[in-house]
Structure 1
Amino acid sequence: MTGLLDLPARLLAIVDEPLAALLPAALRVLLWGALAGVAGMAIYRFLSPQQRLAALRPELRHAQRMLADYDGPLDGLWPLVGRQFRLAFGQLGLVLLPSLLAGLPVILLWTGMALRFDSLPPAAGTPVRVRLEPPPAAGHAPHWEPGHLVPDADGAVLLPWPGDGDQVRLIAADGREWLRISHTTRNVSVRPSAWDWLSASYSTLAADQPVQMLTAELPPRRFLPGLPAWLSGWEALFLTATIAASLICKWRWKVL
């Protein structure tokens, strides 16, 4: 199954693969973020009624000045407040849908960016802690092939990571395959999932087994060492480039 967000993720992978030979990962993250910002601002500029907004802005500023300068009885204040609110909500109504649609480039790129830049695949044979949720019940513990790895109390094993083209399978006591891990496996959920229509990239588990989640604890990729985790990953670089490109386009195109 392919989710809606998996299609742009595949396209991003096709385009980003040759770029990887020319540019380091951090520059590619910034490039994709800048492209998302330019595309988002272009969508907003095209869909928003710029002429109506330009005509509305002076009215709103005039209403704000009148309200700020008013020094009369209370019954004369409410019409001024009402006029300012009507104009402000009128402006909001004009820009709300275009603003939401302007976020589509970021949404469409997000899954592909996460798949490519969240972490680096471990080298083949690297021990990786893999946790099953919920842990299999006693007496029904599966085994891994190739190799027999004993889960700990949390249902986790130290799994030698497969190389390109290799797979590691989790086999139930009755011989059924519960799930499999490949070199690119990240975080997977049982299939079918209620969210598979949106993204099925992580849905590689069989539907008729008791394991609900497989978590491979891979070290996150850090682009800015020394900063907190939420600032050192690809997300911060991507969103910074997106915002910066949007602001530059807004200034250059004189977008309201």
Structure 2
Amino acid sequence: MSSDLLPQIDSPIFCRVSINNDEKWVHGIITYINLDKNIAEIFLSAKYFKSYFSEGSKIVIKSLDENCETLFTGSVSKKVISIRKQAITIQISKVLSYNNQRKHERFRVNYSCRVRYEENISYIANISDISLGGGLIHSDDFFEEGRKIDIDVFVTPKITISFTCKIIRRIANKSGGYSYGVQLANIDDENYNLLSELIEYLQTQKKHLAQEWNMFNRLKYSVYAISILGIFLLIFVVFASKAI
């Protein structure tokens, strides 16, 4: 990543944002980053500005491209929503970059799920991250790393996606319980089709954000153009009145 990056409108750099270590991640677009000055600006959907973000909040941003994942932490120094800008300014405190080892893009979700860990024994959990290759499970119960588990994800009251995963990582949460990184091990055709449809739907959410960003920029430049035209019109009227 260059030290001063201004992406083009037709190729946004998507990122995921978490405030104060919240497990809820939201999508954003990096519109400016300067690593020499430790400053970045993130475009976000207008619906998050009222209550989700506040100045001084600790923030984590993950940006992923084909070859590298960049993670940087910091704090929100400013949030602006106006005709000129709809973004939060980040004072960066730490930057980490590493090779992207993931084969599939991950998406933030918030679904209840059932973990079938042993025969005739199941546990209620929550899945906050999902992809075609696995996900991130949160549970108050302890499961062994390396163990295969069956998971039923309750997407809607009528749609459940079931598959078998292997626990590849376990992290104890500060608030209690555990977060489990799971890798997809086995899934039948019917459930794979359901999972693929879910991923396709989640991808549209990113497209909606990109559309909102494009609409915001078009509106901003339209206002600029109208303002400039109005100034020229005013000057013309003034000179015309003097000529008369």
Greater Rg by CA? 1
Bigger strand fraction = 2
Whose relative contact order is higher, 1 or 2, with alpha carbons under 8 Å and at least 6 apart? 1
Give the TM-score of the pair, scaled to structure 2. Answer: 0.28
Give the TM-score of the pair, scaled to structure 1. Answer: 0.27
Bigger helix fraction = 1
